[in-house]
Amino acid sequence: MPKDVAVIGVGQSYFVRGYEGSIRELAFEAYREAAQDAGITSKDVDASIICSAPEYDKQRSPAGVIAEYLGLIPQPTMYVETVCSSSTTGVRIAYGLIKSGLHDIVAVIGFQKMSEITSAESQERMGRGADIQWESPFGTMMPAYYALYAQAYMAKNGLTLDDLMQVRIKSATYGQINERAVYRRPVTPEDFDPNNPNAKLAQIVSWPLRVGDACANADGSSCVILASAEKAKAISKKPVWILGIGAASESVNMASRPDFSKGLRVAYIAAQKAYKMAGITPKDVKVAEVHDCFTIAEIMAYEALGFAPPGEGKQLIRERATYKEGPIPVNVDGGLLSKGHPIGATGGSQIRTIVLQLRGEAGAMQVPGEPDIGLVHNIGGVGLYGNVIIFGR
């Protein structure tokens, strides 16, 4: 179990609709919290990695602008992007920079101001998030892609629309107690009643997925500060170590994808690599954050991460096993569904949640039993990129 690189500081902004400030100001909120959490100043940081999904940014090459605002020049800075998994990819790069001995302390800052562009602009760009040569010309969009996985998975494994609704109800349970979440309201079965004309969540976006199956767009930022073992031990009272870090990629085109009923291959590969590096098994994980951009994605993640056997993910939600008091709590901060999904900030926010859990500082969201090992599963695009990171005390 390697203990070479530790998280010494975490921060995130409130996730909101229509942030009243610029992207540099948004990034500052998360960075200041993380730096103060670590007990360092910008002079102590050797390099910064700035992460977002560029389709939402007006600012080209945002790394320089943000590094300057955060007081992180003249240290090296760079921009890293893998869409929705940008900030965990940033952490992967930071891990390599520190492990190689090139740097001792690296700050990874993820941000997204989805309201930076108009919704018409966003719709147009959304269509180009896929393979623009072979798929965007058909009018594809994210919900439709995840719906392809949901349809095949549900038909083969007996997962129902009610099971998916239960995932959303669970996320809303925790969105209510997470003051940083964008969606704070409870969700009940009535919200998903197709016979109720006022039930907005019941409207179908792309069969079989409904509005309520999709995550909440948000503006937000996150920051993770990482350090070498020597620095972490000197600076931090409660370092949280990266024990395993796995990543994978997949064909962008649906025509080159393996069996849709089995979920996302990137998640299986990344998880396997992370578990092997950490020298642990899924049973050792006490708390997890998974990429629930859609309800179906959480069920598929249960299986990719080995929390449930293939096809049996539904049992975990039916038995409430992934609630805070269950054997494997998942997304007890509200997840992407309720906390919100500011694309480039999401992975860093997931890491913050796990770090706080392992330190015993998660407040109302704290899972019982003093968890010692936590896991983050962060997916970019429709399983185009996948990162799984295992953390330990």
Partner 1 sequence: MGFEKFGRKSFTSATKIAKFVDFLNEGKIMGTLCKKCGARYFPPRADCANCFSSDMDWFEMPKKGKLETFTVAYYAPYGFEMDCPYGMGVVDYGNNLKLFARISKGLKLEELKNDMEVTVKPVRYEDGQIAFEITKE
Q: What are the residues whose beta carbons fall under 8 Å from the beta carbon of 368, sequence distance 6 or more?
A: 324, 325
152 binds partner 1 (CB under 8 A): yes
Among positions 148, 177, 229, 321, the unique one binding partner 1 when judged by CB under 8 A: 148
Nearest distance from C-beta of residue 319 to partner 1, angstroms: 27
Is 84 known to be catalytic?
A: yes
Nearest distance from C-beta of residue 204 to partner 1, angstroms: 5
Sole window of 125-133, 266-274, 326-334, 383-391 interacting with partner 1 (rule: CB under 8 A): 125-133
Nearest distance from C-beta of residue 117 to partner 1, angstroms: 12
CA-CA distance, 156 to 263, in Å (whole number)? 11
Among positions 134, 158, 360, 363, the unique one binding partner 1 when judged by CB under 8 A: 134
Question: Which residue, 36 or 119, has its beta carbon nearer to partner 1?
Answer: 119
Q: Which two tokens stand for residue 60?
A: 């080209």
Question: How many chain residues interact with partner 1 (CB under 8 A)?
Answer: 41
Sole window of 6-14, 152-160, 225-233, 356-364 interacting with partner 1 (rule: CB under 8 A): 152-160
Q: What are the residues whose beta carbons fall under 8 Å from the beta carbon of 177, sequence distance 6 or more?
A: 364, 365
| 65 phi-psi bin (left φ>0, alpha ψ -120 to 50, beta other) | alpha
CA-CA distance, 255 to 257, in Å (whole number)? 6
Sole window of 52-60, 61-69, 123-131, 365-373 interacting with partner 1 (rule: CB under 8 A): 123-131
Peptide bond into 137 cis (omega under 30): no
In angstroms, the Cα distances linking 267 to 65, 225, 284 are: 33, 25, 18
CA-CA distance, 91 to 236, in Å (whole number)? 18
160 binds partner 1 (CB under 8 A): no
Neighbouring C-alpha atoms within 13 Å toward the C-beta of 239: 19
Nearest distance from C-beta of residue 44 to partner 1, angstroms: 44
Sole window of 23-31, 72-80, 171-179, 255-263 interacting with partner 1 (rule: CB under 8 A): 255-263
Contacts to partner 1 from residues 314-373, by CB under 8 A: none
Residue in the block written with tokens 């494994």: 157
CA-CA distance, 129 to 122, in Å (whole number)? 10
Question: Which residue, 143 or 329, has its beta carbon nearer to partner 1?
Answer: 143
Mark residues 197-216: x for contact with partner 1 by CB under 8 A, - for none: ------xxxxxxx-------
Instruction: Name the helix (H) or strand (E) containing 275.
Output: helix 265-278
Which is catalytic among the residues 103, 291, 341, 377? 341
Among positions 1, 102, 155, 364, the unique one binding partner 1 when judged by CB under 8 A: 155
Is 341 known to be catalytic?
A: yes
Q: Which two tokens stand for residue 54?
A: 């560029």
295 binds partner 1 (CB under 8 A): no
Q: Which positions are annotated as active-site residues?
A: 84, 341
